[in-house]
Amino acid sequence: MSKVLSIENLHVAIDGKEILRGVDLTLRQGEVHALMGPNGSGKSTLSYALMGHPNYEVTAGSITLDGVDVLALEPDQRAKAGIFLAFQYPTVIPGVSVANFLRHAVTNVRNPDRKEGEDLIPMRDFRKELREQMDELGVDQEFARRYLNDGFSGGEKKRAEILQLAMLRPAFAILDETDSGLDIDAVRIVSEGVNRVAARHSTGVLVITHYERILTYIKPQFVHILFGGRIVENGGPDLIKLLEKEGYNWVREKYPEAAQDEAEMEAAQQQQKTPVGAAVK
């Protein structure tokens, strides 16, 4: 049976300021969903809340994975349960090779009860699987010896994320603006990797983006619009075409309360970016 990731009435705050204001979303393994919305609407907040980032406080609502309370789990436990997050800005980890990082991560996910440092996947088996995945994804074998994201280009960082996805085989993959900073060729290559992994392991995919171009390659069955901290529209691929043609003005007109919340959130963000001297002026 396929697993189900259920988000119900989720409210999330950062530094006491509410960002998500009642999000409802259900994902099943094998489904591809796109979550779209303008900058600052709360898309990345949702992804971080799903993975348990400590700066994002869940003030109401629930997240469950096959009935298990995800909010009661630490981030590493969420990963072991089958949730994967591809970051918009992957972290650089100098001194830790891609291969070493992946060997430990894969072992932890596949054998969640082991003690750290014990019973790692046999090196021969790991190397064989890693080489196969790198060949399929078109990644140079030398990549495995480099320090994770250290000196990587934008495209290399995103390829490293997809390589992790391929090796970890999660039930659900959350792609937080994976297309950010990539040229069109890199978007295509990364997308093809996501499609290959998702098809092989029946991975449920949530693509978070405000651009349409990645959705040319990762084709969602379900599309959701996040606006003012809540999902206001649910539909199919036609929603993508409508946004491409009309932008978000029709959303603002149709949902005035959400538009007001969106404006308040944007004003708060601008105020945080404004230097003190400029604010006084």
Specify if 206 maps to a domain.
yes
Specify if 154 maps to a domain.
no
The residues, any chain, with a CB within 8 Å of residue 36's CB and separated by 6 or more, are 43, 209, 210, 223, 224, 225, 226, 239, 240, 243
Report percent pLDDT > 90 for the chain. 65
Give the residue-averaged pLDDT of 45-72.
96
pLDDT at 264: 81
pLDDT band, very low/low/confident/very high, at 38 (cuts 50, 70, 90):
confident
pTM of the predicted protein model: 0.90
pLDDT at 258: 87
pLDDT at 1: 61
Instruction: Please report, as a single letter, which amino acid is at residue 92.
Output: V
Please state the φ and ψ torsions of residue 146, each to the nearest 5 degrees. -80, 155
Query: Whose CA is closest to 234, among 56, 31, 47, 66?
Result: 31
Q: From CA 11, how far away is CA 25, in angstroms rounded? A: 13
Domains contained in the chain, number: 1
Residue pair 46/35 in contact (Cβ under 8 Å)? The answer is: yes
**CATH number of the domain where residue 21 is located:** 3.40.50.300
Specify if 35 maps to a domain.
yes
Structural domain harbouring 21: 4-92+170-280
pLDDT at 97: 96
pLDDT at 281: 34
* Whether pLDDT at 34 is above 50: yes
Question: Please, what is the average pLDDT of the chain?
Answer: 89
Specify if 198 maps to a domain.
yes
